[in-house]
Structure 1
Amino acid sequence: MTATLTAPAKARTGPVPAPVRRARRRNAALGLLAWISGILFFLPVAWMALTSLHSEPDAATNPPSLGAPLTLDGYREFFGAGGGNSPWPPLINSMTASVVSTLLVLLLAFPAAYALSIRPVRKWRDVLFFFLSTKMLPVVAGLLPIYLFAKNTGMLDNIWLLVILYTSMNLPIAVWMMQSFLAEVPISVIEAAQIDGARLPTILARVIAPITGPGMAATALICFIFSWNEMLFAQVLTGVVAQTAPVFLTGFITSQGLFLAKVCAASLAISLPVLAAGFAAQDKLVQGLSLGAVK
């Protein structure tokens, strides 16, 4: 009886097969590489956060002073405690342009993706390629015509001009992403809703939208990030009234010098809405990207 019990134990403690050892080493190497890559990507953000908590003399030292005392003076100056310009109007402008343009993109891209995936039109691949080709034009190439159009129509320094631009800029990539999401929707579900008498608006709102919710969240987050970070059009087409947060951030770099602590504090504060949106939608983002946007 004792021999019967100990034999399997000895078998389990035998030598590990070579393919298993190679697989373990490969997984360990990939895990280590992932950790190193994550640390390298996070290190600049952590350095910026640490610099924002230093005083200007400590932030300007070379090499940097890691053990310098921490202070919130950079954030106080950013939020206007030192008598500077208030950041709230640019932040509100950026939020307005990003949120409204993202909602318009979803509203327009959803039926377009439905027509190109579930009920495909003729030469739908050519349509998708046309959408993609609009992103091949360098942004600076269209800057002068858009500026002349805005000047002649009196829309310079108008936040709604940025809403229109951001919507048109993000619409092609949104259609591409949502087309791949909607292509995963089973046709039988739509046919069952049609048999029950549901019309197209009802099918889109109550059948397809809940199924593709993660994909829509991923698309919305990417469009929001693109709109929030855009600076070229905002720099040229806005002045004081419609100034966005990235343009406001460039105002901290003056001829008087580069104030590292204040710039880092402003950069971190302006990045917080995007970080918060990404953290809130991280589960939906992973589900959406795995649903078909990235294969």
Structure 2
Amino acid sequence: MSTSVLPKPTRADRRPGRSRRNSALLGLAAWVAGVFFFLPIAWMVLTSFHSEQDAATNPPSLSASLTLDGYREFFGSSTGASPWPSLINSASASVVSTLLVLALAIPAAYALSIRPVRKWSDVMFFFLSTKMLPAVAGLLPIYLVAQNLGLLDNVLLLVILYTSMNLPIAVWMMRSFLAEIPTAVLEAAAIDGAGLVTLFRKIIIPMAAPGIAATSLICFIFSWNEMLFARVLTGVRSITSPVFLTSFVTSQGLFLAKVCAAAVAVSLPVLIAGFAAQDKLVQGLSLGAVK
């Protein structure tokens, strides 16, 4: 008679309820953290629909009457100061710089991951070292160079700066995404006669689309929210939306409802872009996270 030896029950088999409780607690903690970080945004949106008198109350009143006066002020119904030029400048600088970053980062990431160059780790450290210098430390030299070249108060200057600022992080992100592409697929395509352009167009870019979407969205957000260089290097023609927001803080006081309405309006393009690329963003941010 043959006897079978049953495996000994593991600790997880003995305590299935404990594992479920831990999962429930982790889920609850995640919900609490999400609500905690969402509350300031909800308060900002609610305050943007209040009058200045109701917005100044402490604590804020949830039952106060709603109005669109803050948004009317933002769009210049009484002052005549239109936000559209600043929004167009921000969109132009952010979109163009993001496209340039992708055009430069994808080939660089290809050379550092799929076809690694010699001492590629030193190259990656060089890219990372460019982010170690505080932005304010390079403000004066950049201002002097831009002044000598006649680029002050010019959107082109912002495009160049945003491209150089976002390129290192884009190379790092794209390298991790491209490293996940199986080399066997690329080798099979090369055997079939596919050239470098065909590899990029038909294999690399489609397979790395989630990573490209995540990288482009992050670069767009960084460019859209940048304020230091835009505040110092622009004047009237090339003012961006973050700089335009500061015009609502005057010597007469802080108009909280107007500031909240302006902040909500300026945040909408980034939120729309995030929701439009939500599925690609989640895939891209998780791609390469776990080997």
TM-score in same-fold range (> 0.5): yes
Residue identity opposite 2:280 in structure 1: K
Matched, 1:145 2:141: yes
Matched, 1:74 2:106: no
Residue identity opposite 1:260 in structure 2: L
Residue identity opposite 2:71 in structure 1: Y
Residue identity opposite 2:259 in structure 1: V
Matched, 1:170 2:156: no
Task: Please name the residue that 1:135 is paired with.
Answer: 131
Task: Note if contact 1:178-1:219 (Cα within 8 Å) is conserved in structure 2.
Answer: yes
Task: Please name the residue that 1:4 is paired with.
Answer: none
Cα distance in 2 between the residues matched to 1:72 and 1:133: 47
Deviation at 1:18, TM superposition (A): 5.1
Cα distance in 1 between the residues matched to 2:78 and 2:187: 63
Residue identity opposite 1:149 in structure 2: V
Cα distance in 2 between the residues matched to 1:67 and 1:26: 39
Give SS of 1:71's match.
coil
Task: Please name the residue that 2:198 is paired with.
Answer: 202
Task: Please name the residue that 1:258 is paired with.
Answer: 254
Residue from 130, 151, 157 that aligns with 2:153: 157
Cα distance in 2 between the residues matched to 1:136 and 1:96: 27
Deviation at 1:21, TM superposition (A): 1.5
The superposition leaves residues 129-159 of structure 1 with CA deviations (integer Å, 9 ceiling, x where unpaired) of 1100100111111100000001111100000
Task: Please name the residue that 1:6 is paired with.
Answer: none
Residue from 263, 269, 285 that aligns with 1:267: 263
Residue identity opposite 2:227 in structure 1: M
Residue from 201, 212, 234 that aligns with 2:208: 212
Give SS of 2:288's match.
helix
Give SS of 2:259's match.
helix
Cα distance in 2 between the residues matched to 1:293 and 1:74: 42
Unaligned 5+ runs, structure 1: 1-15
Residue identity opposite 2:179 in structure 1: A
CA RMSD of aligned residues (A): 1.3
Cα distance in 2 between the residues matched to 1:195 and 1:17: 50
Task: Note if contact 1:181-1:293 (Cα within 8 Å) is conserved in structure 2.
Answer: no
Task: Please name the residue that 2:52 is paired with.
Answer: 56
Deviation at 1:294, TM superposition (A): 7.2
Task: Please name the residue that 2:272 is paired with.
Answer: 276
**Which range moves more in the overlay, 240-249 or 18-27?**
18-27
TM-score (norm 2): 0.94
* Superposed structure 1 runs of 4+ greater than 6 Å apart: none
Give SS of 1:85's match.
coil
Matched, 1:43 2:39: yes
The superposition leaves residues 221-264 of structure 1 with CA deviations (integer Å, 9 ceiling, x where unpaired) of 00000000000000000011000000000110000110000000
Deviation at 1:69, TM superposition (A): 0.4
Following superposition of structure 1 onto structure 2, how do residues 184-195 of structure 1 map, counting pairs within 5 Å? 184-195=180-191
Matched, 1:97 2:85: no
Identity of aligned residues (%): 75
Matched, 1:221 2:217: yes
Unaligned 5+ runs, structure 2: 1-11
Cα distance in 2 between the residues matched to 1:293 and 1:166: 26
Task: Please name the residue that 1:5 is paired with.
Answer: none
Label 1:165 to 1:278 Cα distance change in 2 as closer, same or farther (>3 A). Answer: same
Label 1:164 to 1:293 Cα distance change in 2 as closer, same or farther (>3 A). Answer: farther
Label 1:79 to 1:37 Cα distance change in 2 as closer, same or farther (>3 A). Answer: same
